[in-house]
């Protein structure tokens, strides 16, 4: 058990420049595509966190060579994928969902498992899809075993991806290596986080894969080669959101260098969120700068396409001067934890006012008194507690180490950001 982390509180505006490590979503997609490519690739400025290390380890277990390169890069050399492997998914959705369609190309059994909490995360959509494409799989959730035979027939498959866009991306990423390619049809409620599917498609096209997304809820990947490519990873905008929130809730100013002018990352929606809550937002070639107001406004917002921002927006809403209604995020009940239930419980637990709705949250102005904030082994729950703690003395996060999932040293980065601010 880790010791609770007392969140630093400040009385002055926080003003800092905060370089943010690379995107987890882009890093793990780049690693997987490099593992399936026709030649060696380099991944520059990758995120080095638990989720990406788990992806690298899983691919190594399948026979891919991933070595440390210049200035922290990863040099990826593909090889014939081999079975008789045991893969640890941890709590990483991108590993437990993206790797099985690739592992189906291996020759031999591949056994998947992960953290205890990962065993309740939805997996049957991907596994049933693989079965319909001719892959033998034992199990419907972690742990499960995939019986590879060196290739996959491929073809058309209909799934319900309303629980996660990762189900679509998982099949598209490996589809070019299937004999018939893959056509994915979605049959269900709207797919959440569509920008993540757009990210997958953009990256596939960048390595020469033919993708047809001209019809709604239908994606076709033609069979063919995956070119080797040198990738340069953008900063993780969803991780950056927590640091931008620090400037917003304290009336300060935070600059994140190298914020892309054009991106498929859903975290880019944070710019609109901050403007609507009363911040001044400026994007230039030098990065993104956010200046917070004297007091944040509550907002009514649909985060269906950027649901990973929900804990950060909820934390800011606790400190706003009018109610906030977050909509369109029912699917985050199936993330690292049930984020809607967790946020409601923890906000109330520190004296805040929050209610869970069918597809989101309502958070009202209150006078929080502090207390222990539980992270539920969820990195974004942990950073949400840190944001609230900036303005509410006496908040402690029970497991700050869970942030290593996507940020190698969150406490150190947080402390560096606050070093010029006055502590309570």
Instruction: Give pLDDT tens digits for 302-354.
Output: 999 999 999 999 999 999 999 999 999 999 998 889 999 999 999 999 999 99
Residues 6+ apart with CB under 8 A from 30: 41, 43, 46, 203, 231, 233
Q: Does residue 23 have a known ligand-binding role?
A: no
Tell me the CATH architecture of domain 5-21+235-418: Alpha-beta prism (3.65)
For residues 331 and 82, what is the distance between their CA atoms, to the nearest angstrom? 34
pLDDT confidence bin for 59, thresholds 50/70/90: very high
232 is in an annotated binding site: no
Name the pairing type of β-strands 41-44 and 230-232. Answer: parallel
Annotated binding-site residue? 339: yes
Query: For residue 53, what are the CA distances in angstroms to 31, 87, 123, 225?
Result: 10, 12, 21, 26
Mean pLDDT of the chain: 96
Q: Is 308 a catalytic residue?
A: yes
pTM of the model: 0.91
| pLDDT tens, position by position, 107-155 | 999 999 999 999 998 899 999 999 999 999 999 999 999 999 999 999 9
- The reply to whether CATH 1.10.357.10 applies to domain 24-219 is no
Which is catalytic among the residues 12, 179, 294, 308?
Answer: 308
Q: Range(s) for CATH 3.65.10.10 in the chain?
A: 5-21+235-418, 24-219
* Cβ neighbours for 282, distance < 8 A, ≥ 6 positions apart: 288, 289, 290
What CA–CA distances, in Å, run from 257 to 107, 198, 390? 44, 24, 22
Given a cut of 70, whether residue 26 has pLDDT beyond it is yes
Q: Is 405 annotated as a binding residue?
A: yes
Please state, in angstroms and rounded to a whole number, the distance separating the CA atoms of residues 314 and 326: 8
189 is in an annotated binding site: no
């Amino acid at each position: 058990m880790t010791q609770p982390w007392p969140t630093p509180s400040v009385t002055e505006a926080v003003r800092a420049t905060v370089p943010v490590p690379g995107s987890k979503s882009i890093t793990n997609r780049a690693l997987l595509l490099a593992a399936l490519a026709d030649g060696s690739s380099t991944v520059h400025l990758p995120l080095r966190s638990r989720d990406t290390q788990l992806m690298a380890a899983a691919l190594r277990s399948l026979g891919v060579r991933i070595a440390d390169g210049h200035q922290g890069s990863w040099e990826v050399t593909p090889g014939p994928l081999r079975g008789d492997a045991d893969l640890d998914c941890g709590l990483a959705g991108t590993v437990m969902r993206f790797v099985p369609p690739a592992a189906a190309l291996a020759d031999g059994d591949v056994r998947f498992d992960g953290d205890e909490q990962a065993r309740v995360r939805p997996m049957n959509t991907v596994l049933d899809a693989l079965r319909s494409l001719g892959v033998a799989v034992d199990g419907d959730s972690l742990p499960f075993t995939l019986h590879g035979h060196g290739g996959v027939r491929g073809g058309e498959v209909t799934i319900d991806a309303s629980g996660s866009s990762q189900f679509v991306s998982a099949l598209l990423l490996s589809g070019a290596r299937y004999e018939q390619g893959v056509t994915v049809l979605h049959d269900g409620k709207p797919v959440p986080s569509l920008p993540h599917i757009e990210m997958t498609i953009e990256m596939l096209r960048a390595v020469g894969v033919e993708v047809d997304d001209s019809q709604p809820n239908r994606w076709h990947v033609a069979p063919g080669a995956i070119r080797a490519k040198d990738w340069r990873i953008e900063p993780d905008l969803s991780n950056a959101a927590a640091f931008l929130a620090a400037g917003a809730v304290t009336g300060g100013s935070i600059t994140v260098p190298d914020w892309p002018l054009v991106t498929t990352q859903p975290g880019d929606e944070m710019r609109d969120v901050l403007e609507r809550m009363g911040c001044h937002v400026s994007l230039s070639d030098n990065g993104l700068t956010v200046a917070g107001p004297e007091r944040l406004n509550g907002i009514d917002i649909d985060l269906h396409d950027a649901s990973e921002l929900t804990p950060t927006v909820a934390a800011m809403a606790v400190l706003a001067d009018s109610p906030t209604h977050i909509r369109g995020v029912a699917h985050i009940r199936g993330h690292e934890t049930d984020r809607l239930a967790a946020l409601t419980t923890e906000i109330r637990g520190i004296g805040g006012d929050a209610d869970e709705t069918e597809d989101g949250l309502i958070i009202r102005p209150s006078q929080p008194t502090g207390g222990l904030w539980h992270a539920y082994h969820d990195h974004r729950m942990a950073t949400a507690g840190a944001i609230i703690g900036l303005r509410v003395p006496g908040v402690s996060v029970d497991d700050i180490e869970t942030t290593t999932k996507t940020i190698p040293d969150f406490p150190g980065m947080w402390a560096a950001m606050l070093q010029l601010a006055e502590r309570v």
